[in-house]
Structure 1
Amino acid sequence: MDSAWVVLSLAGLITGFSKFSVGGMGLLILPIVMVVFPGPAALAVILPLYIVTDIMAVFSYKAKIAWSVLARFLPLAFLGMYLASHFLANIDQDQFVRFLGVMIIAMILLGLYLDYRPTPFMRKPLAAYSMGFLGGIVTMMANAAGPLFSLFLLEQKLKKETYVSTRAWGFFIINMIKLPFYLSLGLLTVESTKASLYALPGLFIGAFVGYHFLKKINPVQFKWFVRIMSAIAALKLFWEA
C-alpha cells in the first residue's frame, strides 16, 4: 500500500493546488491515479476529492452566482453525463484508456486553438448547449471538463466575483450529480472511498500552497508545463493500451 499512498497523496496534492491556484491540472490527475487504480475505477477515487474542494469553494463564494448562466449550461451537461454513463458501462479497460488518451489530446488542442482565436460565438445559446453536452461527457469520462466550462463562462463577460462563484457552484452541482451514476456503475464503493481518504492530507496541503503562492506563479509558463505533462500522460496511455 506504500506505493498507492504515494500516488494518492500526489493526486490529492495536485487536486488541491489546482483548485486554489491557476487550475487546469485536471488532465493530469486521472492518469496519475490510474497507476494504482487502472481503468474507470480511478474515476470514483478522484470524485470525493473534487467534492471536498468544491465544498470548500462554495463556502468561500456564496454570493453573486449567475444562475441564469448555469441554467443554460447544466441541462445538456446532465444529458451528456447520462449518455457517458452508458458508454462507461459498455467498454472494457483498454477501450477506456484509449478514449481517455484521445480526450486529453483533444483538450490540449482546444486550449492551443483558443490561445490564438477569439470565441465570441460562445455567447450564443447553441454554444452554451453544445459546451454543456460535451462537458457532461468529458466530466463523466475523465473528470476534466474544466477547460470547456471555463471557456463558456469566460465568454459570458461576467464580473470576476460572479465568474468565480458561478464556476464553483457549477462544478459542485455537476460532481454531486455524478455520485449516483458512479454508484450505479459499481465504481464508487467502500474500497474506493477508503482510497480517497489517503489523498486528503495531500489535498489540504495542495490547497494551502496553491492559495498562498498564486501570485508567484507565471500562468503562461505554468499552462505550458501542464500541457506538456498532460501530453506525456496521454502518450503513456496510448502505449499501455
Structure 2
Amino acid sequence: MDSAFIVLFLAGLMTGFSKFSVGGMGLLVLPIVMIAFPGPEALGMILPLYIITDILAVWSYRSKIAWSVLARFLPLAFLGVLVASQLLANINADQFVSFLGLMIIVMIALGLYLDFRPASFMQKPWAAYSMGFFGGIVTMMANAAGPIFSLFLLEQKLSKETYVSTRAWAFFIINVVKLPFYISLGLLTLETTQASLYAVPGLMVGSFIGYHFLKKVNPVQFKWMIRIMSMIAAVKLFLFS
C-alpha cells in the first residue's frame, strides 16, 4: 500500500498542477497510476480526481460559456463514450495496455502536427462532429482527450475567458456522463473510490502549486518535457505489455 499511496499522490499532484496551470499532463497520469494498478481499473481511480478538479474549475469559470459550441461538440462526444464503453467491455487487460500506449502516441503526434500546421479546418461542422466523437472515445478509454478538445475549441475564435470557461464545462459534463458507464463496467467501485482518496492530498498540493507558480513555468519547455515523458510511458505500454 505504501507504493500505491506514492503513485496515487503523484497522480493527484500532476492532475491538480495540470488543471490549474499549463495543462498537458493528462497523457501521463494514467500510465503513472497503472504502475500500481495495471489494467482498466486505473481509469476508475482517476475519474473522481478529475471530477473534483472539474467542479473547482466550473465554479471558477461559471460565466461566458459558449453553449452553442458545446451543443455542436458534445452529442457526438457522448456517442464516442458509448462506443468506447463497448470496447472496454470486450478487451482484456493486455489489449487495453497496448491500446492505451498506441493512443498516447497518436495524441502526441497530433500535438506535434498542430505546432507546425494551421488547423482552420476545425471551424467546419464535420470537424466538430468528428472531434467530438473521437474525443469521447479517447476520454473514455484513456482520460487523455485534452488535445482533441482544446484543438477544437481553440479554432472557434473564442475570447480567452470564453475558451477557458467552455473548456472547463466540456470536461465536467463529459466526465459526469462517464460515471454510470464506469460503474456498469465495474471500473468505478467503492474500493477504487476509496483508493483514489489517497490522491486527494497530492491533488490539493498540485492545485496550489499550479495556481501560484503558473507565471514561473515556461509553457514551451514544460510541454516538451511532458511529451518526452509521455512518449517513454507510451512505448513501454505498447511494446512491453
Distance in structure 2 (CA, Å) of the matches to 1:25 and 1:103: 15
Matched ranges for 1:112-191 at <5 A = 112-191=112-191
- SS of residue in 2 equivalent to 1:173: helix
Tell me, yes or no, if structure 1 residue 97 matches structure 2 residue 122: no
Contact 2:15 2:206 in 1 (8 A): yes
Distance in structure 1 (CA, Å) of the matches to 2:190 and 2:169: 26
CA deviation string 1:186-222 (max 9, x = no partner) = 1110100001100000001000000111111111111
Look up the equivalent residue of 1:204 and give its one-letter code: M
Distance in structure 1 (CA, Å) of the matches to 2:24 and 2:72: 23
Distance in structure 2 (CA, Å) of the matches to 1:169 and 1:52: 13
Distance in structure 2 (CA, Å) of the matches to 1:119 and 1:240: 34
Distance in structure 2 (CA, Å) of the matches to 1:126 and 1:239: 34
Distance in structure 1 (CA, Å) of the matches to 2:122 and 2:167: 16
- SS of residue in 2 equivalent to 1:35: helix
Look up the equivalent residue of 2:37 and give its one-letter code: F
Distance in structure 2 (CA, Å) of the matches to 1:239 and 1:138: 20
Distance in structure 2 (CA, Å) of the matches to 1:182 and 1:112: 31
Runs of 5+ unmatched residues, structure 1:
none
Post-superposition shift, 1:235? 1.2
Q: Corresponding residue for 2:18?
A: 18
Post-superposition shift, 1:120? 0.6
- SS of residue in 2 equivalent to 1:34: helix
Tell me, yes or no, if structure 1 residue 223 matches structure 2 residue 227: no
Distance in structure 1 (CA, Å) of the matches to 2:235 and 2:171: 28
Distance in structure 1 (CA, Å) of the matches to 2:123 and 2:204: 36
Kindly report structure 1 stretches of 4+ aligned residues shifted beyond 2 Å.
none
- SS of residue in 1 equivalent to 2:16: helix
- SS of residue in 2 equivalent to 1:144: coil
Contact 2:65 2:166 in 1 (8 A): yes
Distance in structure 2 (CA, Å) of the matches to 1:240 and 1:118: 35
CA deviation string 1:121-156 (max 9, x = no partner) = 100100000000000000000001000000000000
Distance in structure 1 (CA, Å) of the matches to 2:187 and 2:115: 36
Q: Corresponding residue for 1:45?
A: 45
TM-score normalized by the length of structure 1: 0.99
TM-score normalized by the length of structure 2: 0.99
Contact 2:16 2:206 in 1 (8 A): yes
Distance in structure 2 (CA, Å) of the matches to 1:182 and 1:161: 32
- SS of residue in 2 equivalent to 1:158: coil
Runs of 5+ unmatched residues, structure 2:
none
Aligned length in residues: 241
Distance in structure 2 (CA, Å) of the matches to 1:108 and 1:186: 29
Distance in structure 1 (CA, Å) of the matches to 2:234 and 2:37: 16
Look up the equivalent residue of 1:70 and give its one-letter code: L
Distance in structure 1 (CA, Å) of the matches to 2:56 and 2:131: 25
Look up the equivalent residue of 2:185 and give its one-letter code: L
Distance in structure 2 (CA, Å) of the matches to 1:119 and 1:230: 23
Distance in structure 2 (CA, Å) of the matches to 1:105 and 1:151: 17
Post-superposition shift, 1:238? 2.1
CA RMSD of aligned residues (A): 0.5
Post-superposition shift, 1:236? 1.2
Distance in structure 2 (CA, Å) of the matches to 1:186 and 1:106: 27
Tell me, yes or no, if structure 1 residue 235 matches structure 2 residue 224: no
Post-superposition shift, 1:180? 0.2
Tell me, yes or no, if structure 1 residue 203 matches structure 2 residue 203: yes
Q: Corresponding residue for 1:107?
A: 107
Post-superposition shift, 1:240? 2.7
Identity of aligned residues (%): 78
